[in-house]
Amino acid sequence: MRARTLRSEPKENRMTVTPAHISEHLTRLGLEHRVDGNVVHFGIATRTYRCPSGQPGLRIAVEVSDRGSYLSLMAPVAFVVEGDHAAAVFETCLRFQYLYRLLRFEFDPTDGELRLSAHIPLHDGTLGDAQFDECLMLLIRLAERVYPILMAAMTSGEVMPFETDRRAQRIGQVVQRLAELSADELETLLAALRDDDPSEGDGEGSSRDDAADCSINDQDSPLAAVV
């Protein structure tokens, strides 16, 4: 069987995204913005994150490149790395980047700029509103979550434990406790678990919590307020 050569479609036949498309969507979201060539600039109000000047709010830049086949969402100068604890800062960045696979940190050694970014190759596809909103919300959530941990690493050189570390520690403690139980105690525990009816309660309000937090129409959402 002969191998087939993959050929990309000519760029003139591709559905592309333009800064005007991004601008129209941001207008529908009620976000004030500025278009500068192929980059759209706007700001988002934040609760925890503070910019290097100490003010709340995250600057966002959306860049459309390669004639609309590549989109980048960036938070430029989100942090400025300075002092003697760069190693702790970079370790924190790597650990967060493992948790947020779509996002990444970018560091400029010439001035210490540390930016957050998400890059979306579109090529022969197009960008849906939900896809854009998801990337934007992830960028904002990363800034909010990483701020206190990254600032601690920057000021003290300490890499704070993540929730995954604490969860693993708790699981280890439970496993150790189970290993210490006698056979009769284990049988009593298993009987209690079998008697527990998981169908009790209305089951509402749990799986939808995270989805509600991501809603851009929620008045408490970061997208509901503009810097």
Q: Give the best-scoring range by mean pLDDT among 2-6, 73-77, 193-197.
A: 73-77
Q: 58 vs 205, which has greater pLDDT?
A: 58
pLDDT at 197: 54
* CATH entry, 14-161, from 1.10.645.10, 3.30.1460.10, 3.20.20.450, 3.30.2320.80: 3.30.1460.10
CB burial of 21-31 (b: ≥16 within 10 Å; e: otherwise) equals bbbebbeebeb
Query: How many Å from the N-terminal Cα to the C-terminal Cα in the chain?
Result: 59
Question: How is the chain split into domains, by residue range?
Answer: 14-161
User: Side by side, which strands form the sheet with 103-108?
Assistant: 33-36, 39-44, 58-65, 70-80, 113-121, 103-108
Over the stretch 4-59, which tens digit does the pLDDT of each residue have? 444 444 444 344 688 999 999 999 999 999 999 999 999 999 999 999 999 999 99
Least confident range of 116-125, 187-196, 205-214: 205-214
The encoded tokens of residue 87 equal 């190693």
SS (H, E, C) 30-81: CCCEEEECCEEEEEECCCCCECCCCCECEEEEEEEEHHHCEEEEEEEEEEEC
Q: 161 vs 104, which has greater pLDDT?
A: 104
| Residue 78, burial from CB neighbour count under 10 angstroms (0-12, 13-18, 19+) | buried
pLDDT at 196: 63
* pLDDT-above-90 percentage for the chain: 40
pLDDT at 30: 93
Mean pLDDT of the chain, nearest integer: 77
Do 120 and 22 contact (CB within 8 A), yes or no? Answer: no
pLDDT tier at 160, thresholds 50, 70, 90: confident
Specify the pTM: 0.65
217: helix, strand or coil: coil
